Amino acid sequence: MRVTTAFNRLLALPGTTVRDVSFEPAQITVTVALRRRRLACADCSHSSRARYDTRTVDSSWRHLDLGRLRLVVRAKLRRIDCPTHGVRTEGVPFARVESGFTRDFEDLVAWLATRMDKTAVRRLVRVAWQTVGAICARVVTDQLDPGRLEELFEVGIDEVSWRKGHRYLTLVTDHGTGKVVWGAQGKDTATCDQFFAELGADRAAKLAAVSTDMGAAYLKSVAKPGHAPNATVCIDPFHVVALASDALDQVRRQVWNQRWVLLKRPERLTDTQAATLRKLRRHGGAAWRAYGLKEALRAVFAGDLTPSETTELLDRWCVKAARSRLEPFVKLTGTVRTHREGILAAIRLGINNARVEALNNKVRLITRRAYGFHSAQAALALVMLACGPITLRLPYEQTHVRPHSV
């Protein structure tokens, strides 16, 4: 078998014929020619036999490594004059638009990024983390199910931090499938409005339930006319429990700050410190009581109670927490009472709290990996790859006909 024939089969790049193979110390360069005569615009379905010109410089793409060697594919591309996009370099069937990598290479990197930590991915495939982000974004644009906003009945809207310094994404989850179906940069009312604009009036009218956290931003957007006209607004109990954990943390910190007062001799205490000491004596075991309140609240939403039992226990919890003299819990009681109807609606509609929490944890794990990305788009892409309606396939698993293939 000739080397070029062997590399034709080895690379399996659709629509190409291998013309030449050259070996360098750390790299194999494979020169290919496109089999098709027609030129295709890289950005739309326009194709033509008429070439504008041929590029003087070869284009190149990195493909899957071969043994220890990097493998680079080269081709001479023509330019097409597209009526919509103007003079553009023709698209190729084996690589995505504007990419320096083949589809196979990008599919592998995207798959790895959802399953491996940053350092491992970078070392294995030898590309910068920023580049991994750009690859994720291209794969998502290409593979995201365009029908994902159809047939939405129960959705959750949530925020997640993707980078230090208050950079957030807003994510919309389909409670039916447990997949993230929409996302955008930001976490304010306008961000959430974008979702409803994209959803459109017809699909929005089908929403039966929308669950959010207790922040005003999303609730305000959900309440706007036409956004979710037939939906019951719910509060994910998961967020309520998270607030109770925050309250417990605050109590713990206060207790910690007060503890050193106990180490001082009483006669050396200032007036304020003496007051603190009296308070400590009176409210002994504050951290313990706070812990008990948090656990009791978690038990209310454990999922093994009927809606009426849940209602009764939640109200009883509010009375107890309001009388606890633990300020963070007294404050939390106010929040819970304000959103009581929404919290109980989530229980009544059976929005699966365990699943919401599991997805939330998965999203948080994956966004920590995205902290090295510099664009919200890349962070969102990684979330979509890991938690969205996308089936990632490794190169050898791909049997479907690829777009543009000839």
Residues that bind Zn ion (CB under 5 A): 41, 43-44, 46, 82, 84-85
Q: For Zn ion, which residue has the nearest CB? A: 41
Q: Which is nearer to Zn ion, 98 or 341 (CB)?
A: 98
CA distance 402 to 406: 9
Residue closer to Zn ion by CB (options 44, 128) is 44
CA distance 351 to 395: 37
Closest distance between Zn ion and the C-beta of residue 97, in Å? 10
Question: Alpha-carbon distance 92 to 81, whole Å?
Answer: 16
Cα distance from N-terminal residue to C-terminal residue, the chain? 25
The answer to whether residues 95 and 103 touch, using CB atoms and an 8 Å cutoff, is yes
Closest CB to Zn ion among residues 87, 365: 87
Whole-angstrom Cα Rg for the chain: 29
HSE-up of 228 (CA within 13 Å, CB side)?
Answer: 26
Helices (H), 12-100: none
Q: How far apart are CA 165 and CA 405, in angstroms?
A: 44
Minimum distance of Zn ion from residue 154's CB (angstroms): 39
Cβ-based nearer residue to Zn ion, 83 or 146: 83
Minimal distance, residue 297 CB to Zn ion, in Å: 57
Q: Which is nearer to Zn ion, 81 or 188 (CB)?
A: 81
Give phi and psi for 264, each to the nearest 5. -80, 150
Q: Which is nearer to Zn ion, 81 or 357 (CB)?
A: 81
- Specify whether the CB–CB gap between 310 and 300 falls below 8 A: yes
Return the DSSP state at 58.
P
